[in-house]
Amino acid sequence: MILDCDPGHDDALALLLAVGDPRVRLLGVTTVAGNQTLDKTTRNALKVLALAGVGGELPVAAGCDRPLVGQLVVAEDIHGASGLDGPELELPVGPVATVHAVELMRRLITGSPEPVTLVATGPLTNVALLLRCHPEVLPRVRRVVFMGGSTERGNTTPYGEFNVVTDPEAADIVLRSGLPTTMIGLNVTHRALATTEIIGEFRSMGTRLGAICADLMTFFAGTYRREFGFEHPPVHDPIAVAAVINPAVVETFAAPVSVELGGTHTRGATVVDLHGRTGRAPNADVAVSLDVQAFWRLLMTAVRALGAASTQPARR
Ligand code: BDR
Ligand code: CA
């Protein structure tokens, strides 16, 4: 797996799940501008990897600092000025690769003996650029799983979800690429809520990592309450990783999905034809339901294991 992300509170949990679940072979992490500017999302990814105890062990490359078309509008209202506000996260971090994220992805895919799954939890800018600049890698990509879009309403505009609204052209390129693509939209991610019990479970792990996850989710809860009036915040991004680890975590439905690229009020909306009205062939497996308990079990197990490993005395 390669994880392309824009941390981001929920991206941080996606990273922890990808690092902490023994079934994932994480080849590298790439970053994109989205929740915050590229320098901040990259720094945040490095911090999370350091917290997970793998700082410097995985290649990390920074990618696009803006959408393919249009201006970057960050989600400071949700993720704060740093993109990962809440806990104190000053710690030594590993290095950033000297190559662009798209080049790192190309190298990792080309060098992998097995086809690679691309998981994207931010705007799809890097992934789209990879597919356009290096079409020769397409046969070596097993599938793309992205958090974005919705079969229902949006969270950034009435019908647009943040990752797709931020870079609609990139999402359109990915959805037209012909690659097997799974869409994990708001219609399922809004079921995975970091409730008081979930935050308590992180804290009661008794590890630094568990406490940091609890603090991250407490901050996230505050902004979701203020901005959307949600009682508990939805933890979107780790569901994309969970769906790769255990496909049974989500139920999917093969459907035609288009991205609205024009639209006076709907640019960036995902138009999901669940009832075959367009007569078009399906181009995505769209998540339509979530096994909430199975999802949290996967995530908690990974965070517990990482937290316990990082509190053990260093091996000589
Ligand atoms: C998506 O937008 C970001 O704020 C989150 O990290 C997630 O990837 C949800 O719409
Ligand atoms: Ca994200």
Tens digit of pLDDT at every position of the chain (316 positions): 999 999 999 999 999 999 999 999 999 999 999 999 999 999 999 999 999 999 999 999 999 999 999 999 999 999 999 999 999 888 889 999 999 999 999 999 999 999 999 999 999 999 999 999 999 999 999 999 999 999 999 999 999 999 999 999 999 999 999 999 999 999 999 999 999 999 999 999 999 999 999 999 999 999 999 999 999 999 999 999 999 999 999 999 999 999 999 999 999 999 999 999 999 999 999 999 999 999 999 999 999 999 998 765 444 3
Question: Which one of 4, 5, 6, 223 would you pick to mutate in the ligand 1 pocket, going by the greatest count of ligand atoms within 8 A of its CB?
Answer: 6
| Extended strands (E) in the chain | 2-5, 28-31, 60-62, 116-120, 141-147, 181-184, 250-255, 257-259, 270-272, 284-290
Active site residue 134: no
Residue 215 Cβ inside 6 Å of ligand 1? The answer reads no
Phi-psi map region of 8: left, alpha, beta (phi>0 left; psi -120 to 50 alpha):
left
Question: Which pLDDT score, from 0 to 100, does residue 301 have?
Answer: 98
**Tokens for 6?**
């824009």
- How many angstroms separate the alpha carbon of residue 132 from the centre of ligand 2? 22
Question: Which pLDDT score, from 0 to 100, does residue 313 have?
Answer: 47
For the question of whether the overall pTM of this predicted structure is more than 0.75, the answer is yes
Question: Which pLDDT score, from 0 to 100, does residue 90 have?
Answer: 83
Residue with the two structure tokens 């803006």:
66
Q: Which CATH class is domain 2-309?
A: alpha beta
Name the residue with the closest Cα to ligand 1, atom 2: 162
Residue 285 Cβ inside 6 Å of ligand 1? The answer reads no
Q: What residues pair up with 285 in beta bridges, in sequence order?
A: 182, 254
Rounded Cα distance between 233 and 240, Å, is: 17
Strands of the sheet containing 181-184, edge to edge, are 60-62, 28-31, 2-5, 116-120, 141-147, 181-184, 284-290, 250-255
CA distances in angstroms from 105 to 31, 165, 204, listed in the order given: 11, 23, 37
- How many angstroms separate the alpha carbon of residue 306 from the centre of ligand 1? 24
Question: Which pLDDT score, from 0 to 100, does residue 315 have?
Answer: 41
Enumerate residues 6+ apart whose C-beta is below 8 A from 213. Answer: 12, 13, 16, 202, 303
- How many angstroms separate the alpha carbon of residue 161 from the centre of ligand 1? 8
Question: Which pLDDT score, from 0 to 100, does residue 92 have?
Answer: 87
Residue 167 Cβ inside 6 Å of ligand 1? The answer reads no
Rounded Cα distance between 316 and 156, Å, is: 49
Residue 260 Cβ inside 6 Å of ligand 1? The answer reads no
Question: Which pLDDT score, from 0 to 100, does residue 312 have?
Answer: 55
> Residues 79, 236, 265, 275: which is the catalytic one?
236
Residue 4 Cβ inside 6 Å of ligand 1? The answer reads no
Name the residue with the closest Cα to ligand 1, atom 4: 35
- How many angstroms separate the alpha carbon of residue 284 from the centre of ligand 1? 20
Rounded Cα distance between 12 and 133, Å, is: 28
**Tokens for 102?**
């798209």
Give the three-class secondary structure for 255.
strand
Q: How buried is 140 (Cβ within 10 angstroms: 0-12 exposed, 13-18 middle, 19+ buried)?
A: middle
**Tokens for 252?**
């999917």
Give the three-class secondary structure for 11.
helix
Residue 236 Cβ inside 6 Å of ligand 1? The answer reads yes
